[in-house]
């Protein structure tokens, strides 16, 4: 069974989400603040985290940043703040989805299912080993990326984006296609989300950013 970590300082939210998650046959653990969440992730293995943003001791964004240093765990953020800046900041940290309060527990569970299915699909698609493009190496099996022999740290979403583009090398990919296949059908975002992640990915690839070609008015293409 897949195991979820619910992190929120509001006990009622934990109780409701636990009830719905257990009904969907997930194992459930919980934490009341970001500090406790980081500690639990160091001691246990989880398949997905549902994390509130505003919490005592350590906020959700800071907790995610610490967790992602050691564990590549999918994260869905919960927040009463629906501003685009907060959403994009979360995605820059590597979260997989962002739900604004108040929310429907059924919707949250649907998003949990969608994120887990996408993660499984990405891990299972095309184990073609290491792809080499000049000094850029993309290891799809080990989920590692090297630039001139040096390993670079990408967020989970940056890796998924690069892996998808490499897999579709030479194919023109619209922003809508990338949103659909990398983020999923139910993702709320827009073209700027793709552009933001491509910008961060290019920065990490250094001189090999040249392989990600902008197609004006359409999207991008990995051309090596």
Same domain, 204 and 189: yes
How far is it, in rounded angstroms, from Cα 198 to Cα 209? 9
Would the pLDDT of 60 be above 70? yes
CB 136 within 8 A of CB 205: yes
Collapsed DSSP state (helix, strand, coil) of residue 82: coil
Same domain, 137 and 30: no
Same domain, 163 and 189: yes
CATH number, residue 156? 1.10.10.10
Same domain, 72 and 156: no
Would the pLDDT of 128 be above 80? no
Asked which of 89, 123, 157 is the last residue of a domain, the reply is: 123
Same domain, 142 and 158: yes
Same domain, 81 and 119: yes
Q: Can you give the pLDDT at residue 129?
A: 64
pLDDT tens digits along 77-97: 998 876 777 888 888 888 888
Asked which of 66, 90, 123 is the last residue of a domain, the reply is: 123
Q: Can you give the pLDDT at residue 156?
A: 82
Q: Can you give the pLDDT at residue 9?
A: 93
pLDDT tens digits along 190-224: 678 889 999 999 999 999 999 999 999 899 999 98
Q: Can you give the pLDDT at residue 71?
A: 82
Same domain, 144 and 169: yes
pLDDT tens digits along 21-36: 999 999 999 999 999 9
Lowest mean pLDDT among 115-124, 144-153, 189-198: 115-124
| 29 sits in which H/E element | strand 27-31
Would the pLDDT of 180 be above 90? no
CB 212 within 8 A of CB 202: yes
Average pLDDT score, the chain: 88
Percentage with pLDDT > 90 across the chain:
54
CB 119 within 8 A of CB 74: yes
Residue with tokens 């993309």: 138
Q: What residue numbers bound the domain in which 101 lies?
A: 3-123
Same domain, 113 and 184: no
Where does the pLDDT of residue 121 fall: very low under 50, low under 70, confident under 90, or very high at 90 and above? Answer: low
- The distance between the two most distant Cα atoms of the chain, rounded to a whole number of Å, is 54
Same domain, 114 and 12: yes
How far is it, in rounded angstroms, from Cα 219 to Cα 223? 13
Total domains, the chain: 2
Helices then strands, counting H and E runs in the chain, come out as 8, 12
Same domain, 151 and 217: yes
CATH number, residue 107? 3.40.50.2300
Return the higher-pLDDT residue of 143 and 15.
Answer: 15
Query: Stretch 55-62: mean pLDDT, rounded?
Result: 91
Asked which of 63, 95, 123 is the last residue of a domain, the reply is: 123
Same domain, 115 and 19: yes
Same domain, 175 and 217: yes
Q: Is the pTM of this model over 0.75?
A: no
Where does the pLDDT of residue 157 fall: very low under 50, low under 70, confident under 90, or very high at 90 and above? Answer: confident
Q: Cα dist. 194→135, 139, 156, 180, 204 in Å?
A: 25, 22, 14, 11, 16
Lowest mean pLDDT among 4-8, 14-18, 105-109, 135-139: 135-139
């Amino acid at each position: 069974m897949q195991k979820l970590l619910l992190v929120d300082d509001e006990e009622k939210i934990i109780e409701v989400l636990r009830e719905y998650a257990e009904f969907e046959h997930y194992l459930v653990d919980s934490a009341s603040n970001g500090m406790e969440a980081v500690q639990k992730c160091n001691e246990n293995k989880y398949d997905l985290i549902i994390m509130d943003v505003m919490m005592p001791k350590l906020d959700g964004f800071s907790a995610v940043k610490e967790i992602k240093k050691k564990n590549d765990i999918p994260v869905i953020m919960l927040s009463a703040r629906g501003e685009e800046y907060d959403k994009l900041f979360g995605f820059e940290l590597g979260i997989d989805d962002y739900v604004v309060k108040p929310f429907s527990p059924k919707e949250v569970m649907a998003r949990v299912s969608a994120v887990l299915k996408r993660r499984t699909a990405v891990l299972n698609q095309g184990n073609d080993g290491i792809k080499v493009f000049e000094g850029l190496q993309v290891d799809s099996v080990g989920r590692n990326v090297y630039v001139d022999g040096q390993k670079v740290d990408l967020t989970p979403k940056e890796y998924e984006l690069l892996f998808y583009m490499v897999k579709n090398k030479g194919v023109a990919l619209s922003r809508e296609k990338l949103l659909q296949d990398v983020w999923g059908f139910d993702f709320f975002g827009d073209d700027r989300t793709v552009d933001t992640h491509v910008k961060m990915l290019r920065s990490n690839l250094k001189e090999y950013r040249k392989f990600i070609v902008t197609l004006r008015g359409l999207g991008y293409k990995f051309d090596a």
